[in-house]
Structure formats: C-alpha cells, structure tokens
Amino acid sequence: MLRQRQKGCVIRTHTTGRRDPVRTDPLDSTFDPEGYVRKTATEELLPDAQEMTDDALNVAGFPAYIYRKRKCGRYCSCNDKHFYTPNSECLVCFGTGRVGGYDKSGFQTDVLDVSYPKQSKYNVIINPNVKPNHYELNPVKIEGVVVFEVPIPKCQYIDKLICYVSTPKNTSFEMFVAPESSNNFQPATRELINSYINGGVSKMQLQVTLKRDNTTIESPTLTHVYVRWAVSPQSFLLNLPNLTKSIAGGDFQLPDIFETIEMEITHKVGELSTEDFFEIVKTGDRLKITEITAHDPIHINLGYSGSVRPVTDFEVYKSIP
Ligand SMILES: [Zn+2]
C-alpha cells in the first residue's frame, strides 16, 4: 500500500517495539558498541528500509505470476530412474525430472500419471517401453478406463484440467468425474468440478476412457492429466525499469528474443532462482529469470534485482499450462 510522503521530509512510518532507554557506558568493559549498532540496524533501520523499498517497487510494475521449479516430488518416468537425465521435451515433468515440473504462485498442481499413487485401471495397461510411460488399451480390448482418486484442496476454483492423450484414427477418449464414493460419473466440466468445490466435496474420482473401433487398430494412449487448483492466486508487481513507459498505454512491448531486461521485485515473493520464470498476468507473456540478486544485509531481504528474458515459442517454458 502506498503512503503519502511529504517531499523533502523524512517521515518515520515504522516503529518496532518500545523505545526503552539503553544504558550506554563506554567505560564499562561489557559495553558492546558493535552489538548496539547491529541491534539498531536489524530492529529499526532495515525494517524501515524494507518497507520503503516495497512502497517504491509498488509504484509501477506489471502484475506477474511466478512459476517455480519443483525441487521435490515424484520422479518422472521419462528418465529411467536416472534423475539427472530427464527428457527435455517431456510434457509430464517439462524436463525437470519431477512430475509436474513447476508450481504457479498461489495455485496447487496435481499431475496424474503412471506414478500417481491412487489409481486403478480396467482393460488398460502401462507401457513401460515408452518414455514417459503411457497408458494404452489391453491388446485384446476395444475399451478401457483409468480412474484416479483426486483430493480436492480448499480452493476458489479449478483452473486447469488438461488431458494429454494421443488418439489415432478411429479411436477416442472421454473424461468423466464423480464425487468420492459415488458412481454418478458425468462428463468433466468446469461447472461441475466447481460445484464440488463449492459443495465441500473433498475428493473426486477422475476417469479417462480410451476407445477404439476394433483391436486391429492402434490404441489411443494417455500419458497424464494435469489438474490445477486456484488456492489463492497470487501475483506480484514485477518492476521492469526500462519498460515502465508502456504501462500508461496498457501495452507490454517485449524486446527482441534473448535480449535481457532489468527487473526488480519485492522481497515478499519469497525464494527465487534462475530456474524460475514469470508470467505477465495481462498478456500471458513469460519471462525467464537469467540473473537474480537478493539484497539482504544482515539477512533482512530488501527485495530482488536481476534480469529476465522473454521465453521463445520453442522452449519448454512455453508449454507449461
Ligand atoms: Zn519427464
């Protein structure tokens, strides 16, 4: 939030605790001038600076979501249990080796693939010879299903539900959902799943049906279902000092591909690294972090500065939902 500041005046906006008189006795050998200075810095000066930096960064910027690379989670089946050699074009882990790959700020992502713990299959098998592994019909069947049991988090709405299937000629797939312990499967729609959320349903069953006309034709295949929940969507003002002029016009003109752009952002975003990227809320443009420095004297983070570059169409960052 912005506060009015009178030009030329220093207005203290932040006080921490009581201001008891501090005994200062230079002749006393227990007096610790360094400790005193440090205390003043950590308890008064830096918290003030942190708040003022935040105010300054909030004057201008582009609201942006952060996508952070996953550092834990299930290993992806694209990499033969060798975590360090994931397939860079894999759509299950987006080349990270961890199922799901990235987390969007304020959203929860669940990826239902062959490694998902709560699943059952009928007339469907997992083919371990393709990387990432996929589901396909039992060779003698023309129809089969995979059912995933999916907990519904406390959230505002369902943001994404994407099925990654391949359907050769004369094959098809369908997606159904039903509340937990109900057999009332209906076509999966945004409205229906949002009605589960609003109705307090804590778990749903998600069923993918694979079909083909006869057993002589190639089977349709399913690699995974990508589900994302809007828990508390959180965007941050990404300050791009050299692009600020375009804000007034509402335009966001990206520079040429691979040109880096200076950026600044509040400490409130939490951890950031060069493995993460931003998405401009308004345009959907994605900016990969190429350099990042936290300004954190005595471990108090005053914000970050660094640089970003536009993501190109042929990069994996572009295919992340
Ligand atoms: Zn993968």
- d(CA 93, ligand 1 centre) in Å: 4
Question: Over the stretch 8-39, which tens digit does the pLDDT of each residue have?
Answer: 444 444 455 556 676 677 777 776 767 778 88
Model confidence, pTM? 0.83
- d(CA 148, ligand 1 centre) in Å: 19
- d(CA 88, ligand 1 centre) in Å: 7
DSSP letters for 191-220: HHHHHHHHTT--EEEEEEEEEES-TTSPPP
Question: Over the stretch 91-119, which tens digit does the pLDDT of each residue have?
Answer: 999 999 999 999 999 999 999 999 999 99
Q: Could you tell me the domains of the chain?
A: 74-230 (2.60.120)
Question: Over the stretch 40-68, which tens digit does the pLDDT of each residue have?
Answer: 888 888 888 888 888 877 777 889 999 99
- d(CA 139, ligand 1 centre) in Å: 25
Q: Tokens representing 129?
A: 């010879």
- d(CA 83, ligand 1 centre) in Å: 9
- d(CA 75, ligand 1 centre) in Å: 8
> What pLDDT is recorded for position 123?
98
| Three-state secondary-structure class, residue 43 | helix
Count of CA atoms in the C-beta half-sphere (13 A) of 232 = 2
Q: Tokens representing 203?
A: 């778990």
